[in-house]
């Protein structure tokens, strides 16, 4: 089957940001998933180069528009290459093929009777490339809160599209096709926008930069096609319109357009479908709006100025902090952006939160699984995978459940819940190792049981590679290479199957997937098959004077709540006698908030404060845990009641 997924095309007036990366990564994940299924996938992205603000950006840099847009398009290409974006087509709206597509489409609009010449008098925001009614302006400025620039008054002859004729047809189509606009609350915005009254859309400008109206349209000389009408047609261009009819019939309509919410209501969800209706072309099957990444509550945006988080420097920060490879940093960013917030909602972006995901989910859960199992195969079976065994009654159903959840998640673009299901499987695999204790089986001499455990663990790792491949392709390749499956032909069906790691397979060299700066040379030793605890002789010895620097106190939890966007963290309010403090604790998988209220705990009170997921934490509660199983955390308490604030020594 074919599957056609698109990003919007991005303005080239400035550099790509993590906001652009978010959209593009999401589309790449969808494309990779459907390719794994064996579908014929077309994944397109590109740059929007015919805007007036692009001309002004070029002028500000002392360049002509054409060389400027070429430089900027190359910048986007380099950024996507660096993020392992596997697009099939990169469209530039200054290309000849796009000019032919736009002009052919406008000839159809004219033939339909929905294109007419009139005079435009009104307000225009160059930054947003949008026409506004006077009542929409805010003190003469663009009503878009992230823009707010002064609107310009324009009077010029222009061609108009009879947008107002399509209100009823659009409402009827939306009603008859429930999955056409997502998420649901954005669809409601579209319906309200249409019911508020559509006015005919100005679709041409007087300019020398842009795609000219076709000469077949009367009085078209001097008119170029309005940038938004031009840009939307890129989806047809990439599908082969109008030059390759066989290709166009194969790929159109698009299966899903994905974009940020700011270009959803006014353009993609209303103007674009109406234009397609006028041209008698099928509508895309689904149009999806995701939320914004914000900083200090405001959208990350080129138009706001100031510091803009680009993907490259974000990756550099991760590498500097962890000493991981660039490929691992790329996968960490891809994972974090899709795991941190539900896809339709806004989320606060920070490198600190990314590093938290890196440590908790990638290093502890996924990386630790691989680098517990492979060193045991190296130690106990001379580096060869033991004989295969029947599907484990716990691991195999957990893998199938995760695969089914991920399928649903990608098809509904609910990446966060899909990844949560995969991580539930990874935690199950880590629990399996703890419960089966292969190091104890090796010591007892039960070789058959040891083979079963090691093979089952190796299969769990192989399945994990398939599951994470759309989001973290570098990591999936590395897992398979370390399993000795380099060059393995991966497919989605393998996520449901058991017993595919060949018996006797020579594994590769175990290497940490997501190293940490503070690991030193201990990573392999910690993963080499012992229970996931650290022996006292591996810890540095401290003097009694050093220990006395730690202020341990009895505290009482008087409030507890979840930390937004964090699966494992709770925000606690702890009374330590003479004051109340906020503390963030990674215990959410073991304790519900209500379980902790009223509980006496032991608190480190003189720990340097830290901000965790945007919450300032002023202390630490003591707990014991098995590192790879976050559900086994137990908070340290005491056997007799002690008053709040009592010293612990």
Q: Given 269, 304, 339, which residue is the final one in a domain? A: 304
User: Is residue 556 within 8 Å of 574, Cβ to Cβ?
Assistant: yes
Asked, as a colleague might, if the bond just before 346 is cis with ω within 30 of 0, I would say no
Q: How far apart are CA 197 and CA 166, in angstroms?
A: 10
User: Same structural domain for residues 173 and 266?
Assistant: yes
Q: How far apart are CA 330 and CA 310, in angstroms?
A: 13
Residue with more model confidence, 231 or 129: 231
- Note the pLDDT of residue 540: 52
Give the torsion through C-alpha atoms of 343, 347, 351, 355, to 10 deg: -60
CATH number at residue 493: 1.10.730.10
How many Cα atoms within 13 Å fall on the side-chain side of residue 590? 17
C-alpha closest to that of 124 among 51, 46, 190: 51
User: Same structural domain for residues 134 and 76?
Assistant: yes
- Note the pLDDT of residue 602: 92
**Which residues are CB-neighbours of 476 under 8 A, at least 6 positions away?**
465, 466, 468, 469, 490
- Note the pLDDT of residue 639: 63
User: Same structural domain for residues 528 and 575?
Assistant: no
- Note the pLDDT of residue 632: 56
Burial 516-550 (b: 16+ CB within 10 A, else e): beeeeeebbebbbbeebeeeeeeeeeeeeeeeeee
User: Same structural domain for residues 61 and 37?
Assistant: yes
pLDDT band at 314 (very low <50, low <70, confident <90, very high): very high
Residue 295 sits at φ, ψ, to 5 deg, of -135, 125
User: Is residue 142 within 8 Å of 153, Cβ to Cβ?
Assistant: no
- Give the DSSP letter of residue 533: -
Domain-embedded: residue 537: no
User: Same structural domain for residues 560 and 492?
Assistant: no
Q: How far apart are CA 485 and CA 409, in angstroms?
A: 28
Q: What is the mean pLDDT of the chain?
A: 88
Element of type H or E holding 417: helix 415-436
- Note the pLDDT of residue 527: 33
User: Is residue 445 within 8 Å of 343, Cβ to Cβ?
Assistant: no
Domain-embedded: residue 24: yes
CA separation (Å) from 567 to 451, 564, 611? 34, 8, 17
Whole domain around residue 420: which residue ranges?
Answer: 313-319+350-532
Give the torsion through C-alpha atoms of 129, 133, 138, 140, to 10 deg: 80
Q: Is the pLDDT score of 565 beyond 80?
A: no
CATH number at residue 93: 3.40.50.620
User: Same structural domain for residues 494 and 555?
Assistant: no
pLDDT band at 124 (very low <50, low <70, confident <90, very high): confident
- Note the pLDDT of residue 430: 95
Range picked from 3-17, 269-283, 609-623 for highest mean pLDDT: 269-283
- Note the pLDDT of residue 74: 95
User: Same structural domain for residues 528 and 548?
Assistant: no
CA separation (Å) from 133 to 141, 198, 625? 11, 12, 61
Q: Which of 52-56, 124-128, 199-203, 474-478 has the lowest mean pLDDT?
A: 124-128
Residue 67 sits at φ, ψ, to 5 deg, of -65, -30
Digit-coded pLDDT (tens) for 524-547 = 333 333 334 333 333 456 667 667
Rounded average pLDDT over 341-370? 92
Rounded average pLDDT over 43-57? 90
User: Same structural domain for residues 557 and 504?
Assistant: no
Q: Given 244, 270, 304, which residue is the final one in a domain? A: 304
| pTM (two decimals) | 0.78
Count of domains forming the chain: 3
CATH number at residue 604: 2.40.50.140
- Note the pLDDT of residue 13: 83
User: Same structural domain for residues 498 and 580?
Assistant: no
Residue with more model confidence, 487 or 351: 351
- Note the pLDDT of residue 337: 95
User: Same structural domain for residues 525 and 578?
Assistant: no
Q: How far apart are CA 482 and CA 508, in angstroms?
A: 4
Element of type H or E holding 165: none
- Note the pLDDT of residue 298: 67
Q: Is the pLDDT score of 304 beyond 70?
A: no
Q: Given 499, 532, 565, which residue is the final one in a domain? A: 532
- Note the pLDDT of residue 206: 86
User: Same structural domain for residues 550 and 527?
Assistant: no
Domain-embedded: residue 384: yes
Q: Is the pLDDT score of 449 beyond 80?
A: yes
First to last CA, the chain: 67
Domain-embedded: residue 56: yes
User: Same structural domain for residues 156 and 229?
Assistant: yes
Q: How far apart are CA 603 and CA 194, in angstroms?
A: 57
Q: Is 91 left (phi over 0), alpha (psi -120 to 50) or beta?
A: beta
Q: Is the pLDDT score of 416 beyond 50?
A: yes
- Note the pLDDT of residue 428: 95
Domain-embedded: residue 336: no
Give the torsion through C-alpha atoms of 333, 335, 337, 339, to 10 deg: -150
- Note the pLDDT of residue 145: 66
CA separation (Å) from 616 to 277, 321, 572? 53, 20, 11
C-alpha closest to that of 459 among 403, 396, 511: 396
Digit-coded pLDDT (tens) for 459-498 = 999 999 999 999 999 999 999 999 999 878 999 999 999 9
Domain-embedded: residue 327: no
Q: Is 113 left (phi over 0), alpha (psi -120 to 50) or beta?
A: left
pLDDT band at 300 (very low <50, low <70, confident <90, very high): low
According to DSSP, the residues that pair with 121 across neighbouring strands are: 155
C-alpha closest to that of 22 among 352, 351, 293: 293
- Note the pLDDT of residue 155: 79
Digit-coded pLDDT (tens) for 252-292 = 999 999 999 999 998 999 999 999 999 999 999 999 999 99
- Give the DSSP letter of residue 515: -
User: Is residue 124 within 8 Å of 131, Cβ to Cβ?
Assistant: yes
Q: Is the pLDDT score of 440 beyond 90?
A: yes
Q: Is the pLDDT score of 628 beyond 50?
A: no
**Which residues are CB-neighbours of 648 under 8 A, at least 6 positions away?**
552, 553, 554, 602
Domain-embedded: residue 126: yes
Domain-embedded: residue 589: yes
Q: Is the pLDDT score of 521 beyond 50?
A: no
- Note the pLDDT of residue 629: 44
Digit-coded pLDDT (tens) for 132-179 = 777 788 878 888 766 777 888 877 899 999 999 999 999 999 999 999
């Amino acid at each position: 089957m074919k599957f056609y997924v698109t990003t919007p095309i991005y303005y080239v007036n400035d550099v790509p940001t993590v906001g652009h990366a978010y959209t593009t990564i999401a589309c790449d994940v969808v494309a990779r998933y459907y390719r794994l299924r064996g579908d014929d996938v077309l994944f397109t992205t590109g740059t929007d180069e015919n805007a007036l603000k692009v001309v002004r950006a070029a002028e500000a840099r002392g360049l002509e528009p054409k060389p400027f847009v070429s430089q900027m398009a190359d910048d986007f290409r380099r950024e996507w290459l660096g993020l392992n974006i596997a697009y099939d087509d990169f469209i530039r709206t200054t290309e000849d093929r796009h000019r032919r597509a736009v002009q052919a489409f406008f000839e159809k609009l004219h033939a339909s009777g929905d294109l007419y010449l009139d005079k435009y008098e009104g307000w225009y925001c160059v930054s947003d490339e949008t026409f506004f009614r006077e009542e929409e302006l805010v003190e003469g400025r663009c009503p878009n809160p992230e823009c707010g620039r002064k609107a310009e008054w324009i009077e010029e002859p222009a061609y108009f599209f009879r947008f107002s004729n399509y209100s009823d047809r659009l409402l009827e189509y939306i009603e008859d096709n429930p999955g056409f606009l997502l998420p649901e609350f954005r669809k409601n915005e579209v319906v309200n926008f249409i019911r508020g009254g559509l006015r005919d859309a100005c679709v041409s400008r007087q300019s020398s930069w842009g795609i000219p109206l076709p000469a077949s349209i009367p009085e078209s000389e001097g008119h170029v096609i309005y940038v938004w009408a031009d840009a939307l047609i890129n989806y047809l261009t990439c599908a082969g319109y109008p030059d390759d009819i066989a290709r166009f019939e194969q790929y159109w309509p698009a299966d899903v357009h994905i974009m940020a919410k700011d270009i959803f209501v006014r353009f993609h969800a209303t103007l674009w479908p109406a234009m397609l209706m006028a041209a008698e072309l099928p509508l895309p099957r689904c149009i999806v709006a995701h939320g914004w990444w914000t900083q200090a509550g405001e959208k990350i945006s080129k138009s706001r100025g100031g510091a803009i988080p680009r993907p490259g420097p974000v990756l550099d920060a991760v590498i500097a902090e962890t000493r991981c490879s660039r490929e691992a940093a790329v996968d960490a960013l891809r994972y974090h952006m899709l795991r941190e917030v539900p896809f339709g909602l806004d989320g606060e972006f920070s490198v600190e939160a990314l590093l938290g995901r890196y440590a908790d989910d990638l290093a502890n859960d996924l990386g630790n699984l691989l680098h517990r199992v492979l060193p045991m195969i190296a130690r106990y079976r001379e580096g060869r995978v033991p004989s295969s065994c029947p599907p484990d009654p716990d691991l195999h159903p957990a893998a199938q459940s995760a695969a089914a959840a991920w399928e649903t998640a990608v098809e509904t673009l609910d990446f966060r819940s899909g990844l949560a299901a995969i991580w539930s499987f990874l935690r199950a695999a880590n629990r399996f190792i703890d419960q089966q204790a292969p190091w104890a089986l090796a010591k007892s001499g039960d070789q058959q049981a040891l083979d079963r455990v090691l093979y089952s663990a190796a299969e769990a790792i192989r399945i994990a590679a398939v599951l994470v491949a759309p989001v973290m392709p570098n990591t999936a390749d590395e897992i398979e290479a370390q399993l000795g499956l380099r060059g393995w032909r991966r497919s989605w069906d393998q996520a449901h199957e058991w017993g595919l790691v060949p018996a006797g397979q020579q594994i590769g060299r175990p290497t940490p997937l997501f190293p940490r700066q503070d690991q030193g040379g201990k990573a392999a030793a910690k993963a080499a098959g012992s229970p996931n605890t650290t022996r006292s002789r591996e810890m540095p010895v401290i003097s009694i004077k050093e220990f006395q620097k730690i202020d341990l106190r009895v505290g009482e939890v008087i409030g507890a709540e979840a930390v937004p966007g964090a699966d494992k963290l709770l925000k606690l309010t702890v009374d330590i006698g003479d004051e109340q403090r906020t503390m963030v604790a990674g215990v959410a998988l073991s304790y519900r908030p209500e379980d902790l209220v009223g509980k006496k705990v032991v608190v480190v009170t003189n720990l340097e404060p830290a901000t965790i997921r945007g919450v300032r934490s002023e202390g630490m509660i003591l707990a014991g845990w098995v590192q790879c199983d976050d559900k086994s955390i137990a908070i340290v308490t005491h056997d007799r009641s002690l008053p709040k604030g009592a010293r612990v020594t």
